[in-house]
Amino acid sequence: MSVVLAVARDGSHRFSKKPALSIRLLEGLGVEGDAHMGVTVKHRSRVARDPTVPNLRQVHLMQAELFDELAERGFRVAPADLGENITTRGIDLLGLPEGARLHIGASAVVEVTGLRNPCVQIDRFQTGLMDAVLARDSAGGLVRKSGVMGVVRAGGDVHPGDAIRVVLPAEHKALDVV
C-alpha cells in the first residue's frame, strides 16, 4: 500500500521544511503557506531568470525508501530535511511517468511534472549527500533520486497515513528535470 509518511511546509525559502500534522493543497497553487506556492515559478534562481514561467514545482514529493538507502550509507535524513512537502512510502515516485496523477487522501490530486534536480545545498546539509542522491543507470545516464515535483489538480488536506492511489496517463513519457 502506498501512503503518506509525513508532510511539511515552510513560508520561507529554506533548504529544509517544517514537519506538520497536515498540509492543505490548493488547486493550481500548491501547498498553502509554503514559499513555493503560486501559479508562476517561486524557486529563487528560476524567478531571477523569468518570473512569468508556470510553476511546475508546486509540490515536492520524496520517497522514504531513499532515506533508508541513505542510512545504509551513513547519512541521517528525516522527512522534510531535504525540502519535500510530502514524504511517501510504498510508491516508486522516480519510476512514474510525466502526467501521472497521485490521488492523496480524501480529495487531493497531484500531477507529476518532473524530477527534482539536486543542488549544492544538499552538500551543505550533509557533506557527500549530493553524490549519494545521484547515480548512473546501466547506460551511463544520470539518475536523480531526490524526488519528484508536481502541480495540484484538486485541492484537499493531506495527513500522514493518507493512502495514495496512482492513475497513469495513456502515454508513458519518462520524467525529466523541471
The pLDDT of residue 165 is above 90: yes
Q: Is the pLDDT of residue 70 over 90?
A: yes
Distance in Å from the first CA to the final CA of the chain: 28
Give the model confidence (pLDDT) of 86-114 as tens digits: 999 999 999 999 999 999 999 999 999 99
- Write the CATH number for 65: 2.40.33.20
Q: Is residue 120 part of a domain?
A: yes
Say if 80 falls within a structural domain.
yes
* CA pair distance 86, 101, nearest whole angstrom: 14
Considering only 42-56, 124-138, 143-157, 159-173, which range has the smallest mean pLDDT?
42-56
pTM for the structure as a whole? 0.96
Q: What is the distance of C-alpha 104 from the center of its chain? A: 14
C-alpha cell at 50: 523569468
Report yes or no on 176 lying in a domain. no
What pLDDT, in 10s, does the model give residues 114-155?
999 988 889 999 999 999 999 999 999 999 999 999 999 999
| Cα separation, 104 vs 2, whole angstroms | 10
**Average model confidence (pLDDT) for the chain?**
96
Residue 128: inside a domain, yes or no?
A: yes
Q: Cβ(19)–Cβ(8) under 8 Å?
A: yes
Query: What counts of helices (H) and strands (E) characterise the chain?
Result: 4, 13
Q: Please state, in angstroms and rounded to a whole number, the distance separating the CA atoms of residues 37 and 31.
A: 6
The residue range of the domain holding 99 is 3-167
Count how many domains the chain has.
1
Residue 65 lies in a domain: yes
